[in-house]
Amino acid sequence: MKTMYLKSAAFMFVIMFAANVAYSQSSAEYKTKIESMNKEMAKNMLSGNSAKNLSLYTDDAISMPANEPMADGLPAIKKSNEEMMKSGMKVTAFEPTTLKVMVNGNQVTEIGTYKFSMTMPGTDKPMDDHGKYLTVWEKQKDGSLKIKIETWNSDVNPMMGQANQ
């Protein structure tokens, strides 16, 4: 009886260890994949290629930007991007940093920080920002990832100004 218990406990330990190793490898692989996609998205932002970035969203994606209404669905996200482009805003720097990746079924959650700079018509100097973001990526049938849900917000308190941050 005692031998059977020890064998069962050892078997369970091996299973849990193997599952943990598989999870870690999977998370590390997804982190590498996401970091590569983030670099491509940053490049597209700097060149003004929003169409390329929109192809990275699911049709039913939800974007929850800071200080703006939620955009529910790809058409709403596209409209929001078009309005931003029409405003004359130009991204001059964007640097996302992936801090953590968690895999759960067909979804991969990314938590990170960003540094961002942009110019606006009528401003003398670029506006800088830094903050944090959360992106839920959805695994596609072909193995690729697409953005399902995203949100971000600044670490800069607009009431205090950038000098105090």
Cα of 157 vs its chain's centroid, Å: 22
Q: Which of 127, 135, 138, 131 is nearest to 157 (CA)?
A: 131
Sign of CA dihedral 86, 89, 90, 93: negative
Per cent of the chain over pLDDT 90 is 63
List pLDDT tens digits, range 67-116: 899 999 999 999 999 998 888 888 999 999 999 999 999 999 999 999 99
- Could you tell me the pTM of the whole model? 0.80
Cα of 162 vs its chain's centroid, Å: 24
Q: What are the strands of the beta sheet with 107-119, ordered from one edge?
A: 71-72, 57-64, 145-154, 127-139, 107-119, 90-104
Cα of 55 vs its chain's centroid, Å: 15
Bridge partners of 122, per DSSP, are none
pLDDT, residue 23, reads 46
Q: Where are the beta strands (DSSP E) in the chain?
A: 57-64, 71-72, 90-104, 107-119, 127-139, 145-154
What's the CATH fold of domain 29-157? Nuclear Transport Factor 2; Chain: A, (3.10.450)
